[in-house]
Amino acid sequence: MVNGTFSRSASARLTPRSVGSPRVSAHRKWWVAPGPSFSFLAVIFCLASVLLVVGCVIYLYAFRYPSRGRLVAGFYDESDVCDVFDGSWVPDSSYPLYNGTECPFAERGFNCLANGRQDKNYLKWRWKPRHCDIPKFDVHEILRRLRGKRVVFVGDSMSRTQWESLICMLMTGVQDPKTVYEVNGNKISKTIRFLGVKFQTFNLSVEFFRSVFLVQQGLPPTNGPRRIHMTLKLDKMDEINQRWIDSDVLIFNSGHWWTPSKLFDVGCYFQVGGVLKLGKSISSAFRMALDTWATWVETMVNTNRTHVFFRTFEPSHWSGLNQKACEVTEQPLAVAKANDRSEFADILAEVVANMTVPVTVLNVTLMGASRSDAHIGTWSHPSSILDCSHWCLPGVPDAWNELVFSYLLTNGWKQIGR
């Protein structure tokens, strides 16, 4: 099991859910027996109440929420463990970690400098936890540990961005770039469901599977309402799930497609057990999909070998009356402000807290809330597309990967590197 910090972690902003008292059925006895005085009984009752409250608090923090606010074991002093997601961005002239133009796997749409961005200040920021430091990304040590291994990303385009980021970071430690290639000769595209890059010298595979909902999409049932063009089967994992299992590091994300515009507005509704759930809300459907995912991890993934991560919703910085304006700043915001979809982080935290196997939550939502300077904005490809959701590369996704591998280095790599 992962040391009880960072894994099964809730959002740093979450508070434990209250626990209701169980109902106790008993026969009341309607007589008065001789006994201690009323004052003595009152004192005993007060002491018992205090002990009960203390016991509930201990239970919530030590058992129900074992890692709330204490995230990465290894980044600590003798007195406390550091919450690496509680911090700020600090200037650092040693950044970025790679040149996006020199990396053939940095998608043109994410390469802001190649698309005409002139200012480079957004590249010079490092994530600094409030009470500790993240170890510097040591590419040679990481490559050594990953020799003969398989890293898999599963999710939407944000997952693809993190996948590209990691490949570019690792390529800085490769002597011959020609030994790194996409296994099927594909160019990076948002429509391809599988992309895999092989580091031949290290026998290492870094792969991306496009699965924006994680659960299975399907055709509408026969004789269903005309407005239904497709369904999400909330109780079934994406049909390509078998390809994710045999991995050493497995990183999930989902969230950006769980919106009315990408579901109901295009005729996509929910289905469970072959039955349409037309009245189900998006948040409750998201919870059910995560429950399906959690059961899949518990039953299908060998967590003695595979490190499982789930990254929280990444904040965007759309503004304006209809949230269609995109204004990219030159500096991070002094006060964090973003669409953080916090209810998704809450749901994820609760689902993971109830799992029987270790899963590490990458709580990156607050990390990106101040980085209005790091979005693609008008420096997209083609340039007519505004983008205040995705991130430039190099950029914010590099910090996510720094956290993943700092965690692995400080918390043990299971079979990795042995």
Q: How far apart are the C-alpha atoms of 216 and 212, rounded to whole Å?
A: 10
What does the longest C-alpha to C-alpha distance in the chain come to? 91
Distance of CA 282 to the CA centre of its chain: 18
215 close to 233: Cβ distance less than 8 angstroms: yes
What residue type is 369 in one-letter code? A
**253/212 Cα distance (integer angstroms):** 8
Asked, for residue 20, whether it belongs to a domain, the answer is: no
Q: What is the C-alpha separation between 191 and 379, in angstroms, rounded?
A: 21
User: Would you place residue 224 in the very low, low, confident or very high pLDDT band (cuts 50, 70, 90)?
Assistant: confident
Residue 27, pLDDT score: 30
Question: Beta strand pairing status for 325-326 and 194-199?
Answer: unpaired
Report the pLDDT value the prediction gives residue 24, as an integer from 0 to 100. 32
Q: What integer pLDDT is reported at residue 120 of this predicted model?
A: 94
Task: Return all residues near 310 (Cβ < 8 A) that are at least 6 apart.
Answer: 251, 252, 253, 348, 352, 359, 360, 361, 362
Q: Could you tell me if 400 and 363 are in contact, meaning their C-beta atoms sit under 8 angstroms apart?
A: no
Q: At a CB cut-off of 8 Å and minimum separation 6, what does 46 contact?
A: none
pLDDT level of residue 12 (50, 70, 90 thresholds): very low
In a domain, 66, yes or no: no
Helix (H, G, I), strand (E, B) or coil at 60: helix
The residues that bridge with 339 in the sheet, in sequence order, are 316
d(CA 16, CA 7): 16
Cα separation, 291 vs 297, in Å, equals: 10
Among the residue ranges 65-69, 280-284, 300-304, 360-364, the one predicted with the least confidence is 65-69
Q: What is the C-alpha to C-alpha distance for residues 208 and 193, in angstroms, rounded to an integer?
A: 8
Does a structural domain hold residue 48? no
Percent of the chain's residues with pLDDT above 90: 63
Element of type H or E holding 142 = helix 139-146
Which pLDDT score is estimated for 278?
A: 92
Tell me which residue of 362, 348, 349 sits closest to 289, measured CA to CA. Answer: 348
Structural domain includes residue 24: no
Q: Does 10 reside within a domain? A: no
Q: Which of 159, 76, 85, 181 is nearest to 397 (CA)?
A: 159
**Is the separation of the CB atoms in 389 and 156 below 8 Å?**
no
Is residue 2 domain-resident? no
Taking a C-beta distance cutoff of 8 angstroms, is the pair 142, 410 a contact? Answer: no
Distance, in Å, from the CA atom of 152 to the CA atom of 382, rounded to the nearest integer, reads 29
Which range marks the domain in which residue 152 is found? Answer: 74-411
Give the closest residue to 84 by CA, choosing from 126, 138, 24: 126
| pLDDT 10s digits, 274-327 | 899 999 999 999 999 999 999 999 999 999 999 999 999 888 898 887 778 898
For residue 281, tell me if it sits in a domain: yes
159 pLDDT above the threshold of 90: yes
Work out the average pLDDT over 203-216: 98
The confidence score (pLDDT) of residue 393 equals 97
3-state helix, strand, coil in the chain (%, to 5): 30, 20, 50
| H/E element, 347 | helix 342-353
More confident residue, 166 or 66: 166
Closest CA to 107 of 397, 403, 412: 397
pLDDT over 80 (residue 383) = no
Q: Distance between CA 81 and CA 70 in Å, rounded?
A: 6
Do the Cβ atoms of 9 and 349 come closer than 8 Å?
A: yes
Percent of the chain residues past pLDDT 70, beyond the cut = 79
Tokens at 401, concatenated: 């990967």
Cα–Cα distance for residue pair 107/92, rounded to 1 Å: 25
Report the run of H or E that residue 201 belongs to, with start and end.
none
Q: Please tell me the pTM assigned to this model.
A: 0.81
Matching residue, tokens 């991306």: 208
Instruction: Give the residue-averaged pLDDT of 378-401.
Output: 91
Tokens standing for 234?
């909330």
- For residue 267, give the nearest of 304, 226, 217 by alpha carbon: 226
CB 114 within 8 Å of CB 100: yes
Alpha-carbon span 286 to 284, nearest angstrom? 5
Q: In the chain, how many domains are there?
A: 1
- Mean pLDDT computed over every residue of the chain: 83
**Rounded to whole angstroms, how far apart are CA atoms 212 and 266?**
15
Q: Around 202, how many Cα atoms within 13 Å sit in the side-chain half-sphere?
A: 31
Q: 246 lies in a domain?
A: yes
Q: What is the CATH number of the domain that holds 189?
A: 3.40.50.1110
* The dihedral sign for the CA sequence 125, 127, 132, 134: negative
Predicted confidence at residue 335, as pLDDT, reads: 83
